[in-house]
Amino acid sequence: MLKTIYLSIFLLLSLNLFSQSKSEDTSSNAEYDELKAIVDKDKSIKYQTGLVNLSDEVELNIPKGYKFMQKQDAEYVVYEFWGNPKSIDVLGLIVNENFSLLNSNNWSFVVSYDNSGYVKDEDADKIDYNEMMNEIHESEVEENKERKKEGFPSIHIIGWAAKPYYDKSTNVLHWAKSIKFGSIEDTTLNYDVRILGRKGLLSLNAVGTIDQLSDIQSHIPEIVKIAKFKEGNKYSDFNPSIDKVAAYTIGGLVAGKLLAKAGILALLLKNIKLVLLGTVALFAALKNKISNLFGNKSNDDNTVS
C-alpha cells in the first residue's frame, strides 16, 4: 500500500515539476524547511547507553545493540513527530542502535510508568482471551466517539497478533494487537510489555508495523531485562499493610480500557507522517535534479545565442 502511494506521489510530482517555472515555490520551500527541521532534530538527539537512572523506583541497563532516548526528545517523537495525544507520561524510548526518525524500518519501545498500585495476578491463568477480544470489539464504538471528539482517528482492533502471556517468575506480562486507524488500509502493531512492581507497573509499548512482529518478539527477552525495579520496589516487596492495590488485575490490564482512554493505542500514527516525509524527500530530490537539468540547458542556450 505505501509503495503504491509513493509511486503515485512520484508520478504526480514529476508532472507538476515539468510544468513549473524555474522560480521557487513557497509551499515547496515550506515542505523543504519541515524536512530540514526533522533532519536537524534527528541529528541533535542524544542517546544513553549503560546504566540509566530513570526514577527513584526504576532503572534501565541499556546493552550493546540498543540505545535510550531521553524524556524531552522522546516527547517530541511521540507527540509531535508521530502525532499522539499528550495524555501519557513518556519517560523515554528504547530503540535499536540504528534508530533514526527518517528510517521507517525501525521499531521502538515507549517507556512510561503508572503508579496506580500493586496489580494482583491471581486471575492470570483463568482468563479467556478470545472472549476478552469480543468485549474489546464491543467497546470500540463508545471509545471511538471519545477519540473523534478529541480530533483523533477511530481505532479498530483486528485481533491478537500475539495472545497475552504472563510469566509469574518474573512478573512480566506481554501481548500484541493488530490495529487499523481510521480509513488507513495498512495494519499496524501494538505490542505491550508490562513489568509489575510493588507500587505500579512499568510499560514498554512497542511502536512498529505488523510485518515487524517476529523481529520485535525476538527482542522481547532482551528488552525485558533492560528495565527493572530497584530494591524495595519489586513486585515481591509488596506490603499489604501499607501499599495501595490497583483497581484492576491482569485481565483489566490486558483489556486496556483504562489505558486506551489515555491514548496509548494511538502510538502507531507514524506511518502517516512517514508518507509525508517521503513526499517531501522525493519532491526536493526530484526538483533539484530537474531544475539542474533545465538550468544547465538554459545556460547553454544563452551561450549559443
Closest CA to 107 of 20, 242, 208: 208
Closest-CA residue to 267 (of 99, 87, 119, 31): 87
Q: Where would I find the beta strands (DSSP E) of the chain?
A: 47-48, 50-53, 58-62, 66-70, 90-96, 108-114, 155-167, 172-181, 188-196, 201-209, 227-229
204 lies in some domain = yes
Is residue 285 included in any domain, yes or no? no
* pLDDT tens across the length of the chain (305 residues): 444 444 444 444 444 444 454 445 555 677 677 778 888 888 999 999 999 999 899 999 999 999 999 999 999 988 888 777 776 778 999 999 988 887 767 888 999 998 889 999 998 989 999 999 998 888 888 888 877 887 777 888 889 999 999 999 999 999 988 888 777 777 778 888 999 999 999 999 888 778 888 888 899 889 989 999 999 999 999 999 999 999 889 988 888 653 343 344 334 444 434 444 444 444 444 445 444 544 554 444 443 33
**Is position 61 within any domain?**
yes
Whether 2 maps to a domain, the answer reads no
Please indicate, yes or no, if residue 279 is contained in any of the structural domains: no
In a domain, 179, yes or no: yes
The CA dihedral of 16, 18, 20, 21, to the nearest 10 degrees, is 170
Q: Which range of residues forms the domain containing residue 269? A: 41-274
- Confidence (pTM): 0.73
Assigned domain for 92 exists? yes
Taking phi over 0 as left and psi of -120 to 50 as alpha, with beta for the rest, 92 belongs to left
Residue 297 lies in a domain: no
How many structural domains are present in the chain?
1
